[in-house]
Structure 1
């Protein structure tokens, strides 16, 4: 079994790597106060990155989940904030629109995503419910040819920049998971308001959004029947994109640790010549390569969305790996790692996001554990590990 990137995947990754190193690296400090990285987004649009997940008929490249994950990984090696901005254009909200929205809406939104002129956001979390989608309280009433939404969403990325919001909502008050659907909301809709903002340790801003008798046309109800299953199937894309950022952050921190171990001297020679330090580098490298293998494998199952259990395993592993690797990389730097003068501190702070967004580690462990308990065969694993 040969697992290698294609020439096209490698060329795109190398182009993004060069862009990130040539332009993004110097801009990292200016985006730590919540400022949106418009310059970087424009550069990514010019390279074609923002249209990677957009079907070709709407001006995009129509590339698979794996290609998008590889590019997010390269961006995150340099700038977490920019990687999160790109995630908003390449992640689940884009794919939900491309798969489920009416043709007229696709034509009006998706070409602008490719150019960076239309920013997207997804609204899932509520003040009292995050992963517990079936207990969302945000409700949308269908009133003849209109929709009227009421509720609150919180911890929303890009709320001040996005033009369109993909909102998970209850439809007509129907209880339980059967009542969950999806509505597209434009920020200019009456009754839409950003009511709170939170600055994160990673550098980006999150926000709270209030929908108060928020009105929109009926055609913006894009998922209703079998909504819960469709939305969670699509959301498995996010469970590959999120860990791609974690992998990139770990790789970025690892690169900084290797450079520091070569340059920093103690007791007359580089600290990287010490056995204890070499073992730290070896362990970080091992963790990164194992994480890459399971993530790429999960991405490769997408048709059009990834296998839910492999995606969950990839997310758990990459998120937790990034915490360990960035922490060790900071330790390699000693006291300097605790300062903002060295990039490793940015990677460390960004890595903390992974286990919280897109389904917490604890929730995903429960999901996978239930699957194992219910269906794992008595004769054990096949050669692929699948069951």
Structure 2
């Protein structure tokens, strides 16, 4: 077992860390009103990391899940909106296009993702159905060489900036999960409308997206049979990338806090000299390190997708750890931690998203519990699962 990053991995994240800790840190407050972080995206495109999950033949890096998670972790330490914007270029939507889209779409869209000229948006959640995919009402009807889509999606990231939408929808009204497929929709398609806007506590904007008798070519229907199963497979990757942002947020808040308590005097001595404060730091640190171990191990199983059991476990722990750690960071900053000007306030707000997106903690706990309750663990118990 090796617990150190390779020289290649360190070389990958070093320029990202430098850019994040200098340039992105100075800009972080700018994006809290919902403004999309275009400046940061262009800078990252210059490093090549927007194409982390794009295959090399389209100009990307074709990185494994672990390396992608490392990059997101570094960005999230200073800027949640930028980390989420990059997740949009490295997550499920990119993998769907790279694996299932026809060559014409791949050749046009993927190089534009690498350069930062095409932002992707995934459309899943509906006003009445989030985790409950089986009750999606958005429907795509196949008519000869066209696909006609009607319905609506809500709480959609990057909808105002997106050049292409990856839309999960029912196909020909087929009921249940088995009826779910995926359609690719380019911006400007008649019948596509971005409507309502929700400003989030993390800083980014989410939107409503409407499809009104919207027509796309049949080749844009990229998942038809077994669409839901393929979606879940891809989401195992998302369940490693989402918690990598949570881990980065917690690390960023911890770094800010250790600096603050060393410098902030109270009753004639630094806050860090009080035993109660040191114990809080110790708890924050052990939480972060436990989360890192779970997440990195889940990422390590990816071939090409992570083990669903470990990915779910890592996601639940990292998401909830980030809430605990960033909450303590705000507390240890006192009143300053409640202000926008101090990073811990922004990191705390960003941390609250993790357990909501990419599979709610309640859903994933049930997934983990069902496996543990139903699996024949053998004489060695949980160790017999072969994950250690």
For 1:224-246, what per-residue CA distance to the aligned partner results, in whole angstroms no more than 9, with x for missing partners? Answer: 11111011101111111110000
Distance 1:307 1:383 in 2: 15
Does residue 257 of structure 2 align to residue 260 of structure 1? no
Residue 167 of structure 1 aligns to a residue whose secondary structure is strand
- CA shift, 1:4, in A, is 1.8
- CA shift, 1:309, in A, is 1.2
For 1:75-114, what per-residue CA distance to the aligned partner results, in whole angstroms no more than 9, with x for missing partners? Answer: 0001001000000001110011111111121111100000
For 1:162-190, what per-residue CA distance to the aligned partner results, in whole angstroms no more than 9, with x for missing partners? Answer: 01011111000000111011110112111
Aligned to 1:125: 125
Residue 382 of structure 2 aligns to a residue whose secondary structure is coil
Does residue 16 of structure 2 align to residue 16 of structure 1? yes
> TM-score scaled by structure 2?
0.98
Distance 2:387 2:135 in 1: 32
Aligned to 2:84: 84
Residue 216 of structure 2 aligns to a residue whose secondary structure is strand
- CA shift, 1:147, in A, is 0.5
Distance 2:387 2:18 in 1: 37
The question of whether the paired residues in 1 share the 8 Å contact of 2:378 and 2:384 is answered with: no
Q: Which runs of 4+ in 1 moved over 6 A?
A: none
- CA shift, 1:266, in A, is 1.1
Paired residue total: 387
- CA shift, 1:378, in A, is 4.3
Residue 382 of structure 1 aligns to a residue whose secondary structure is helix
Aligned to 2:171: 171
- CA shift, 1:304, in A, is 1.5
* Larger CA deviation: 367-376 vs 34-43: 367-376
The question of whether the paired residues in 1 share the 8 Å contact of 2:141 and 2:148 is answered with: yes
Aligned to 1:34: 34
Aligned to 2:306: 306
Does residue 387 of structure 2 align to residue 386 of structure 1? yes
Distance 2:335 2:384 in 1: 46
Aligned to 1:242: 242
Distance 1:385 1:266 in 2: 51
Residue 165 of structure 1 aligns to a residue whose secondary structure is strand
Distance 1:8 1:134 in 2: 42
Residue 214 of structure 2 aligns to a residue whose secondary structure is strand
The question of whether the paired residues in 1 share the 8 Å contact of 2:239 and 2:315 is answered with: yes
Does residue 290 of structure 2 align to residue 290 of structure 1? yes
Any stretches of 5+ residues in structure 2 without a counterpart? none
Matches within 5 A, 1:33-52: 33-52=33-52
* Larger CA deviation: 37-46 vs 18-27: 18-27
Distance 1:79 1:338 in 2: 17
Aligned to 1:191: 191
Distance 1:2 1:48 in 2: 27
For 1:189-245, what per-residue CA distance to the aligned partner results, in whole angstroms no more than 9, with x for missing partners? Answer: 110001210000000000010100011100000011111101110111111111000
> TM-score scaled by structure 1?
0.98
Any stretches of 5+ residues in structure 1 without a counterpart? none
Aligned to 1:137: 137
Distance 1:297 1:163 in 2: 34
Distance 2:170 2:78 in 1: 39
